[in-house]
A and B are shown apart, each in its own frame.
Chain A
């Protein structure tokens, strides 16, 4: 198992200071966006981070991409702390990790042709000339289901689904080990979502790449992810293999999240674990278990002691006093 691990986050923490005043900025609090989480991404597999807005999933993705610096904990890839990299090591890291974002209208430069967009990571990170990159670009376009003559068009000539294909081709150009997918299909139409989800699966098998996916769509996650980590207020509350998690959700928050999801059929009735209210502010998270003020099963201990991680069944981890 150990050899399979591509990326490991340990006690990862990102606190943003909240300041007051324009000149003498005083720190008056800290937003605990990510507050001590640990996870692994395995080779050729997909880990999904799910949760609602403000749970810290996007901040986690940014930390993995080195777009943010952690205030605690480490992320290591092949045994090296990615935030300690510099020079040659950093250049190598840039070719190993790529990203595809939610909105294909704003993530592609409108002034570059498709061939330039796809070749950009190669040219920047691998000192390949644009001429040499051309052949590679055409192969990649073929892999993502676009035609060679489309290489010289501009992004505005494509639909949303096609743009997302271009973004995938660009990400794959440097043969990365990991692609961070931030809500990769949520901006697309339903029938196009299916095309892109199938493509993501095919490309994973073909290029042997790992995905770290951030999503709030539970059905999409079920289709694409091998493992899922559920986040709430900056913490991971449950983590398991996808099928195991969906069939036996243990944490009351996971159960509530699943029962709030919309049905696939009108006749379908769920045993609803409705939770009331909205998540509290990560500026001042509740004591003990952070879910306790909204939890229908909360006990006295939940307000006082933060629950420990337990491996309830093999490979299924949960942080809850009920177990």
Chain B
């Protein structure tokens, strides 16, 4: 309960406020509603986990935030307020000004995020110089280098002076991901988007990296949007969780609420399908079938065909969002009796 109160009244300002975001893909086969009315908020110092399986729309949501969408995709509705400024309405020059400064990102694979033909010092200092508008004088170059060393030390890189002249191939995956993280946090962004940053790392290295991200967050108050499909990462890292399914958020709440009282049948099934290290479960529950194609979405609930509790209503109309204990919300008709409809 204390944790719920904590996340609800986290006190900090809202850093990111996404409201009814709609991003569609226009292809020759028709329109794909990849992100179809997604709303969430992240406060200062808070970590929100955006959870979903392939095709759920989590990556398209992130690309919309950064305005890095592929050509076929367009934001067709909604707002993305970063510190009150609407990213959707910005011109590209303004977007470029906030990318990497107010909002930065750590990608999944450090191998491809770094350029193999430049030293990591070169790449780190290039982005520092770009963020600061360094004028190339000897003094500003010295400052840039000083900052680079500071950042590497903050990311727990031992002997940073030596590491600056390393090429990416001379570093391990975990070390490279620390450099990538350093580039992302260097400008002291308000929002850090972490897209599965530890999936390619070994377990012990993953544990070190997650701990480091937490520490950086405590020191800088950065808001983190953590994209993952791993509920273990969510349990370790997140304050709140938003579960995505077929382009929409089906359930959102504090991490305790989601794990202790998952209320949407999809979330329940997802948690039931994860094997545990602590015990050998008799049999994992599975979700039969597959998510619907995003170009041919049903009228009603998108999970209905796979849902063990579906009834007629679910096929007729998409469920409204209902609010339960501790600000927990879910879009499911089953909750109509017990939870309150959400006022928007």
The B-contacting residues of A in range 18-55, CB under 8 angstroms, are 52-53
Q: What's the interface size class on B, roughly?
A: 35 or more
Does B278 touch A at the CB level, under 8 Å?
yes
Q: Which of A223, A275, A278 contacts B281 (CB 8 A)?
A: A223
User: Once the chains bind, are B229 and A190 in contact (CB under 8 Å)?
Assistant: yes
Q: What's the interface size class on A, roughly?
A: 35 or more
Does A173 touch B at the CB level, under 8 Å?
no
The segment out of B70-78, B133-141, B203-211, B333-341 that lies at the interface is B203-211
A242 to chain B, nearest CB (A): 7
User: Once the chains bind, are B235 and A53 in contact (CB under 8 Å)?
Assistant: no
The B-contacting residues of A in range 151-197, CB under 8 angstroms, are 159, 189-195, 197
User: Once the chains bind, are B204 and A257 in contact (CB under 8 Å)?
Assistant: yes
User: Once the chains bind, are A219 and B277 in contact (CB under 8 Å)?
Assistant: yes
Does A264 touch B at the CB level, under 8 Å?
yes
User: Once the chains bind, are B274 and A219 in contact (CB under 8 Å)?
Assistant: yes
With A262-B232, A264-B277: A194-B284 Cβ-Cβ less than 8 Å = yes
Q: Which residues of A contact B275 (CB under 8 A)?
A: 194, 197, 219-220, 222-223
Q: Which residues of A contact B132 (CB under 8 A)?
A: none
Tell me the nearest residue of chain B to A263, going by C-beta: B235
User: Once the chains bind, are B206 and A266 in contact (CB under 8 Å)?
Assistant: no
Q: Which residues of A contact B287 (CB under 8 A)?
A: 191, 194
User: Once the chains bind, are A266 and B255 in contact (CB under 8 Å)?
Assistant: yes
Does A111 touch B at the CB level, under 8 Å?
no
User: Once the chains bind, are A189 and B204 in contact (CB under 8 Å)?
Assistant: no
Interface bits B211-247 vs A (CB < 8 Å: 1, else 0): 0000000000000000001111111101000000000
B229 to chain A, nearest CB (A): 6
CA distance A159 to B290 in the complex (A): 9
The A-contacting residues of B in range 72-109, CB under 8 angstroms, are none
User: Once the chains bind, are B277 and A275 in contact (CB under 8 Å)?
Assistant: no
Q: Which of A52, A189, A191, A267 contacts B203 (CB 8 A)?
A: A52
The B-contacting residues of A in range 255-273, CB under 8 angstroms, are 256-268
Interface bits B39-63 vs A (CB < 8 Å: 1, else 0): 0000000000000011000000000
29 A-B Cβ contacts within 8 A? A190-B53, A190-B230, A190-B231, A191-B269, A191-B270, A194-B274, A194-B284, A194-B286, A197-B284, A216-B202, A216-B203, A219-B274, A220-B275, A223-B280, A223-B281, A246-B278, A258-B277, A259-B207, A260-B203, A261-B277, A262-B230, A262-B233, A264-B235, A264-B274, A264-B276, A264-B278, A266-B255, A266-B256, A267-B259
The 3 closest A-B pairs by CB, nearest first: A262-B232, A194-B273, A260-B207
